[in-house]
Structure 1
Amino acid sequence: MRRSLIAAAAVALTAAGVVFAVTPSAQAATAIPAHVFAPYFEAYNGDSLNGLSQQSGDKYLTMAFIQTASRGSCTVYWNGDTGMPISNATFGSDIAAIRARGGDVIPSFGGYAADNGGTEIADSCTDVNQIAAQFEKVITTYDVTRIDLDVEDNSLTNTAGIDRRNKAIKIVEDWAAANGRTIQFVYTLPTTTSGLADSGLAVLRNAVANNARVDIVNQMTFDYYDNQPHQMANDTKSASNGLHSQLQQLYPTKSSQQLWSMIGVTEMIGVDDFGPAETFTIADANAVYTWATQQGLAELSFWALQRDNGGCPGGAASDTCSGISQSTWQFSHIFAPFTSGGGTPGSPSPTRTSASPSASPSRSPSASPSPSRSTSTPPPAGLANGNFETGSLTPWTGSLCSVVSTPVHGGTKALKAAATSSDNAQCAQTVAVQPNRTYTLSAWVQGSYAFLGATTGAGDTSTWTAGGSTWTKLTVNVSTGSSTSIKVWVHGWYGTGTIYVDDVTLV
């Protein structure tokens, strides 16, 4: 993304080319939700990561940017600043606090300044193994499950760098699989109003050639610089439709819905770098949110969290305000409900154990109980009709939900959730709970891509299974925090058909 250059001067490294020793495991991590709103956070201006996450209510943030301090180096830092190394001392406590509230972060490599200055890691470093080692260091230091790669400007024409980057991705994906880790890679690329330019497609074609799995292609739907009139929401849709067709050529075995679940969109809220002719409005945000939810996109984002305020109405593009009249965090509040679902299908998050101060013990059902959990047995929760034996859906709700007589796990009735190509068929009920308790939510499910979870004041907690024709038990721990009621839900997955649910308990 085109951003202002980092103010701090780059410091030449004498230790360039050092390969870091990487520990293979950390505490249990949870995959990023299947549909996530994760705006970019400008990590270079001294703002509090956790503070702005709390103020905005944004639980998931994409952290920009990681790059080398000088061209030719193989060591990355936050913002290329040698005073901000990849270590728990840099952002570690903030990330832990965000995770304790049910969120997470996505580190982003590159950005316009790095791509323009030769400090993007694959442009800077000519050793593929050292590039991979830097990815792995970020993954293990912060225990993350998704990496964003912002590739634009000169990085789009550096064919050697493109090839090195994709070879390194493949190494990291193989390393992750061998060490029981989940890791996803996102390519964030500039776009035209009809899809990626050939330079962006070349990055993906090279990934395919190197057997590097690309989980999400995130379009920057702004800065078109084509001197044409723009209606930004419509341009987002047309760019995405074009990308969908392009991905169909690159990945011919994937279904239409699988391709939509590979697509992300990043807007530049308010006035973008081109000027007022490219202005993303509040109305555009509402339209894009509705459309992205209907299409089942993987990711919705914007540049940048610090711009989500009306501090400079009528102004130009700025790092600190949107340039339009709006309330503070208005774009965040519009996009926030987009986050839903468990880990992305095809990328289950395995349990990993080891000591790591930056990981939250409550991020996985298999992790240790959170510190607020009482040693006594919590009072029963108010979940009703969990076995559906009443024959009625009440108090469960959901337009694509019904009670059926077959198949069942126990008794004579079960719940049917019939997902469509545009709706994941969420069936839910609101349940009275005790505050500051941890409950165990369980259910038996049958069918492909069944999700079980709960929404508290701190956000969603969930688990899922790829499933099949047999009954499978799902279990997840739910910490209530200060909430006295939570929403318990189950759902299938867009375009994967019907699931069945039975014997839901919350104890």
Structure 2
Amino acid sequence: MGKLRKNLLAWAGAGAAAACAVTMTAVPALSTPQPEAAGVVSASPYLYNGWGNPPAATDVMSATGVKNFTLAFILSDGGCNPAWDGTRPLDGPDKQTIDAVRGAGGDVIPSIGGYSGNKLGEACQDAQSLAGAYQKVIDAYGLKAIDVDIEASEFENEASQTRVLEALKIVKEANPGLRTVVTFPTLIAGPNDVGKRMIDKAAELGADVDVWTQMPFNFGGSDMAADTITSTEGLVAHLKSALGYDDATAYAHAGISSMNGKTDTGETVDQAAFQKMADYAKEKGLGRFTFWSVNRDRPCDGAPDACGGIDQQPWDFTKVVAGFQG
């Protein structure tokens, strides 16, 4: 989600013991389709358990009406094997959060990747083994959807970018009903050349990504609502060009992942700007509207892992996302 996370996960994988790479010759299909996946994709703000004082997901659910969360981040444990932040096992404390959210009537979509740390798309040497790593996460939680937050070298490198797309195609074909999200950085005008190449490659491969979600911040915006809309229109235009979508289909395959409050580069996304983005997302029928992060969606003394650095009430931004149904 940007430079704010450069140091959050820098340690991830550094102290982890190297693991054996996962090699799979086949990815087993789930026995039943995954129903009702659209909701967990469309309106699920990011929650990060790697910070010292994460809010209790069920408390946020009760206070806001939000049902779903995007849990960050799944990384490499040193090999082609998934772990939360590269260190916490899949059956550890993060599973407790998932169980609590589901017990309260909600669901989760894990975010694989992020800005920092060891990425599975780079640690795994081919698409089949990467798909095997994704499958481990899918099987661990019986998931309806996964989000690959592709940034930094995993995004910039053509080989790892292609590997991610190929792996997403494999797991989608192996898991009927699974929805796939790709989240990536952008410019005010829309996807940069690297982002356009990624969408073009997905079209060539037939990867069938359900929602392409841009992160419209840290790009020098001045009017964050207007600039986010401009950026999203640029994404929609490229989806139409690359994939042959009509307007409605392109908007349904596009998403916004903003950042509440102060961004890493000093932009400000206040409540009014965020509401304008949400109104636009509803009007156009976007497939996803979310933000980084619930941890920061509360008043505090300015610590970047505990608040957005603006005047607000608890969960102002989460309440907006709760009202978005896609």
Q: Give the one of 246, 264, 287 matched to 1:298.
A: 287
Instruction: Say which one has the larger Rg.
Output: 1
Q: Residue by residue, what CA displacement relative to the aligned partner does 1:472-503 show, whole Å, maximum 9, x if unpaired?
A: xxxxxxxxxxxxxxxxxxxxxxxxxxxxxxxx
CA shift in 2, pair 1:156/1:56, >3 Å: same
Q: How many residues align?
A: 318
The residue number in structure 1 matching 2:298 is 309
Match for 1:203: what amino acid? M
Is 1:261 aligned with 2:228? no
Q: Counterparts of 1:146 and 1:184 in 2: how far apart (Å)?
A: 4
Shift of 1:77: 0.4
Equivalent position to 1:74, from 80, 84, 96: 80
Query: Matches of 1:75 and 1:323 in 2, distance apart?
Result: 36
Q: How many Å apart are 1:242 and its aligned residue?
A: 0.9
Are residues 28 and 173 of structure 1, via their aligned partners in 2, closer, same or farther at CA, if it must alter by over 3 Å? closer
Structure 1 distance, partners of 2:315, 2:223, is 22
CA distance in 1, matches of 2:19, 2:212: 35
Is 211-220 or 40-49 further displaced after alignment? 40-49
Say if 1:323 and 1:148 are closer, same or farther in 2 by CA, change over 3 A: same
The match for 1:162 is 161
What is the aligned partner in structure 1 of residue 238 from structure 2? Answer: 246
1:62 aligns with 2:53: no
Q: Runs of 5+ in structure 1 lacking a partner?
A: 341-507
Counterpart AA for 2:46: Y
Per the alignment, residue 237 of structure 1 pairs with 229
Deviation (angstroms), 1:16: 3.0
Query: In the alignment, does 2:127 pair up with 1:128?
Result: yes
User: What is the aligned partner in structure 2 of residue 138 from structure 1?
Assistant: 137
Give CA deviations for 1:406-429 in whole Å, capped at 9, x if unaligned: xxxxxxxxxxxxxxxxxxxxxxxx
Q: Note closer, same or farther for the CA distance 1:21–1:54 as it changes in structure 2 (3 Å cut).
A: farther
Superposition deviation, residue 303 in structure 1: 0.5
* 1-structure distance, mates of 2:230, 2:315: 27
The 5 Å alignment of 1:354-503 reads: none
The offset of 1:18, in angstroms, is: 5.2
Structure 1 residue runs of 4 or more that deviate by more than 6 Å after TM superposition: 20-23
Q: CA deviation at 1:129?
A: 1.4
Going from structure 1 to structure 2, the CA distance change for 1:271 and 1:20 (only over 3 Å counts) comes to farther
Q: Secondary structure at the match of 2:286?
A: coil
CA contact (8 A) 2:49 2:94 kept: no
2:268 maps to which residue?
279
- Superimposed CA distance per residue, residues 322-363 of structure 1 (whole angstroms, 9 cap, x where no aligned partner): 1100001111112311126xxxxxxxxxxxxxxxxxxxxxxx
Change (3 A) 1:209 1:103: same
2:323 aligned counterpart, secondary structure: helix
1:331 aligned partner, one-letter code:
F
Contact 2:66 2:321 in 1 (8 A): no
Aligned ranges for residues 66-215 of structure 1 at < 5 Å?
66-70=74-78, 73-81=79-87, 84-87=88-91, 89-114=92-117, 119-176=118-175, 181-215=176-210
Q: What residue number does 1:12 align with?
A: 17
The answer to whether the 8 Å contact 1:32/1:104 transfers is: no
Confirm or deny: 8 A CA contact 2:74 2:113 kept in the other structure: yes
Compare the two structures and name the one with the higher strand fraction: 1
Decide whether the 8 Å contact of 1:22 with 1:133 is kept in 2.
yes
Give the structure 2 partner of residue 394 of structure 1: none
What SS does the aligned partner of 1:338 have? Answer: coil
Between the aligned partners of 2:321 and 2:30, the Cα distance in structure 1 is 33
CA contact (8 A) 2:33 2:178 kept: no
Residue of structure 1 in register with 2:38 after alignment: 33
Equivalent residue, structure 2, for 1:330: 316
AA paired with 2:190? G
Cα separation, 1, equivalents of 2:319 and 2:59: 16
How far apart in 1 are the matches of 2:173 and 2:33?
Answer: 19
Q: CA RMSD in A?
A: 2.3
Unaligned runs of 5+ in 2: none
Paired with 2:93 and 2:261, the residues of 1 have a C-alpha distance of 30
Conserved in 2, the CA contact under 8 Å of 1:10 and 1:80? Answer: no
* Structure 2 counterpart SS, 1:16: coil
Q: How far is the alpha carbon of 1:58 from its aligned partner?
A: 2.5
Aligned residues with identical type, % of pairs: 31
* Counterpart code for 1:324: I
Aligned to 2:215: 220
Matched to 2:257, the amino acid is T
| CA distance in 2 between partners of 1:28 and 1:202 (Å) | 31
Report the counterpart of residue 372 of structure 1 in structure 2: none
Q: Deviations over 1:434-492 (max 9, x none)?
A: xxxxxxxxxxxxxxxxxxxxxxxxxxxxxxxxxxxxxxxxxxxxxxxxxxxxxxxxxxx
For residues 285 and 14 of structure 1, do their structure 2 counterparts lie closer, same or farther at Cα, with a shift above 3 Å needed?
A: closer
Instruction: Out of 20-29 and 232-241, give the one that drifted further.
Output: 20-29
As a proportion of its length, which structure holds more helix? Answer: 2
Higher relative contact order (CA 8 A, sep 6+): 2
Distance 1:123 1:185 in 2: 19
